[in-house]
A and B are shown apart, each in its own frame.
Chain A
Amino acid sequence: MLLVGTTLVFGASAMSQSGDYGESQWWSPGEEHVIGDALEFPNAEGRLRLINTGDPINTANHPFFAPIGENGRACVTCHQPTDAMSLSAKTARERWDATGGKDPLFAAIDGSNCPSLPQGEKASHSLLLTKGLFRIARPWPPKAADGSEIEREFELEVVSDPTGCNLDPQYGLTSANPTVSVFRRPRPVANMKYMLSLPHGVTPHEYFLYNDKTLLPKDPETGEFVSVQLMSDGRLPTLRGQAGDAGFTHLEMLADLTEDELLQIEAFERAIYVAQGYSNRAGELGGPGNPPGLGPEALRDGPPGELGNNPVNRVFGTFDMWLNPESKAGAKPTPKQEFRASVARGANVFFDKRFFIKDVGVYNDKGLGNPFKRSCASGCHNTVLTGMDLAPGFMDLGLNNWPWNKRDDLPLFKATCHDDAVPQSYLGRVIYTHDPGRALVTGKCRDIGASMTQQMRGLAARAPYFMGGDSDTLREMVDFYDRRFNIGYTDQEKQDLINFMSVL
């Protein structure tokens, strides 16, 4: 552990670009750490920086870090500081190797492909080890928070079940408690003010979902409207609701979190900001002379809930100071200058390069037209400093549904929508899907496969990417978009985009 100013650097004793960062950066439940103002954690691209805007925290007895469930897990098990408060597949593999698969991370309930599989075998945890995926078990038909059944507009049939869980007599669709098992990545628990703020300046969308102009959900405790950016399917819109649900479903708690525990967890989650803080190739990312949107301090100080798809804000602010490096006459730019220029070009590709956005369910059909022509930034990734889609809405990019994405490792369902249902706009009434997404909450045919965009910070620390862990690298992510929307990025543009995302 290194001490840099007031910033603790974990696991940096053997830092290299090979992916071997020396001593373990894993935080086990119940382990004692002190989170002061800032911590840094090395990764392949440099160092992730975590800053704490609250009081210093001793993790030893803090409910986010304590093994308060029956399976020995804590919240931190799946939201590791080193992985930008998410969990990378690399970390999961390292943990398997270090413990022989005995870590609570691999709990049968959701850290394995199905609880009925032999838990000592690595193959039973393949989705977590290869893609960082946890099993999310949802009731079928969908149920509301009060347990009442939601009228469904479609039927589900299991076409293939490589994990065995959807056909399992105890855990599957035909079990006594019919359940759909889908597999999703944990989202980063950081930069929360951006996830929780209602959008500003885009009235009436502080009250209405963009998609169909239904109302946003309300906080059941305060009665106030809330954003739906927190979870990929929007099923729990508040930190307290999410924590309480995770206590039962992921930690296997037998009793509710106490009020004091909920308060501590929420206060911690609201106080934490993460972003890449140092780049091996660009150097220090925050501070004067650098792009003002980089580093977690920018997130701490930035305005949440704002639309950044304009030529001034450009979502992450200007990168122009890196675009044309000054050098002595005739001197070749240094590698650092060249990398910084690439990052700045990537920011421009992100903001300026338009392409046809076509056949995105619950998106092109929400009034925008099919196709419409935007860039990454002016289309779906427009929230200042975080890059989610600000006006709250879900979309099916094609990651969950055929024909855009086909996975052999995930279950495949055939969804057949009822004749009187509004069909999914571009796939109709018969849809093959790996994860019905939002439709498992609403029961709506048109929502099949839809999910909420994610924040774009701390990417270098938390591969794989997308809700289903589809892309192992940033290159694979860029290639997916290039194929999906026939963008035609040049190799240089792809590399510039990758470099840009690596410093976020």
Chain B
Amino acid sequence: MLPMRPICSWLALGSLAISAQATAQQHLSFVTCPVAQDTGDRSDVCFFVVHAGVRYGVALPIDWGKPQLGHKLLVEGVVDDSAQECGGVRIDGRASVMPELSLECSEIAPATPDILALKLGRRPGITDEQRAMILADPSRSLQIMRLPALPVPKVALGRTETIYFPFERDRASGPDAMKLLELARLAKSTPGTTISVRAFRGATLLDNGEVLTEREDMARLRGEKIAGILIGLGAAEGSIKLEVIDDVAKPTGKADWQSRRAELRVSASR
């Protein structure tokens, strides 16, 4: 384990400066309102939270699910002093939108000069070359510019793939959905395989000592949804062995988000 050391909040920028300290490598687990940060006329918003006087941003995997005003946010992760996120100290981990409404979570922070200087959420504009191309031939503006494809995940027989979920959600992210696609393809292309699906529900120990436990049917919902997707993608119904694990592992306050998961393995017949 890396040594823990106090660091100043990432921001030392004018009005955003926060004097409280965050501790590098510290595990955090708390529930609070997210704040939407406007980042300028030509860019998207980002989200931050303020906890114990420190502004944090949570780095999330692609398509995991961004914070939402109108709902509290469960933040679980490790403080990272090597980068900033949304003008705050970065937390590596997960953030989960709590399902029930919390109308008090409604703040949109305006884009100040300090935030604009961070150049957050900017999307690439048209290049001079593209502009010249369209000027010369306007029909080229309808030649399709596709986004770079997400990498295709590599899956293998006998290897366990793990999909993690936000709190009380059964929605897999786009990259995890691609994992399901590849697992189904692997099962279809290998005669006599079985697909083991082990679905869990989780619990989280918050910094204030409270324990948040997912609803009782969460493991079943996740497992049945994944099994249904695999069958819909062509896996034989009889090849799927679904195990629903309703027992909740005791949370520790460190990486408890990993308790909300499903484990999948395609195995060849013996």
A interface list, Cβ under 8 A from B: 200-205, 207-208, 212-215, 218, 291-293, 298, 302-303, 306-308, 310-314, 317-318, 320-321, 352, 354, 356, 358-359, 364-365, 367-374, 384-385, 420, 422-423, 425-426, 428
Contact = CB atoms under 8 A, between A and B. Distances in A.
Contact of A307 (B108, B139, B146, B149): B146
Contacts of B135: 320
Which of A306, A318, A352, A423 has the most B CB atoms < 10 Å from its CB? A318
Interface in B41-87: 41-45, 47, 63-71
Contacts of A352: 42
A312 B126 contact: yes
Interface string B190-228: 000000000000000000000000010100000001001
A426 B146 contact: no
Interface of B: 36, 38-39, 41-45, 47, 63-71, 97, 99-101, 108, 121, 124-126, 130, 134-135, 138-147, 149-150, 170-174, 177-178, 181, 215, 217, 225, 228-229, 232-233
A318 B134 contact: yes
Contact of A317 (B43, B99, B141, B147): B141
B126 A385 contact: no
Per CB-CB distance, the 10 closest pairs between chain A and chain B, nearest first, are A369-B66, A370-B68, A201-B146, A311-B126, A318-B141, A317-B141, A215-B232, A292-B139, A204-B177, A317-B142
A384 B143 CA distance: 10
16 contacts: A204-B181, A213-B174, A215-B233, A292-B142, A307-B147, A313-B142, A354-B43, A365-B68, A369-B45, A370-B69, A372-B44, A373-B38, A385-B142, A422-B99, A425-B71, A426-B101
Contacts of A358: 69
B94 to A, nearest CB: 13
Given A207-B181, A318-B141, A425 B66 contact: no
Contacts of B71: 370, 425
Given A214-B229, A302-B142, A318-B134, A426 B70 contact: yes
Contacts of B142: 292-293, 298, 302-303, 313, 317, 384-385
A370 B121 CA distance: 15
Contacts of B121: 373
Contacts of A201: 144, 146-147, 149
A313 to B, nearest CB: 6
Main secondary structure of the interface of A (DSSP, over half): loop
B246 to A, nearest CB: 15
B44 to A, nearest CB: 5
B234 to A, nearest CB: 10
Nearest to A368: B66
Given A215-B228, A320-B134, A373-B38, 17 more contacts: A201-B146, A203-B149, A213-B173, A215-B229, A306-B146, A307-B146, A313-B144, A317-B138, A317-B142, A365-B68, A367-B63, A367-B64, A370-B69, A371-B36, A373-B43, A373-B45, A428-B100
A313 B145 contact: yes
A213 B141 contact: no
Given A207-B233, A423-B101, A354 B41 contact: yes
Contacts of A310: 145, 147
B177 A207 contact: yes
Contacts of B38: 373
Contact of A372 (B45, B149, B233): B45
Contacts of B99: 422-423
A372 B139 contact: no
Contacts of B68: 364-365, 369-370, 425
B244 to A, nearest CB: 17
A204 B185 CA distance: 14
Given A317-B141, A317-B142, A369-B47, A311 B130 contact: yes
A200 B138 contact: no
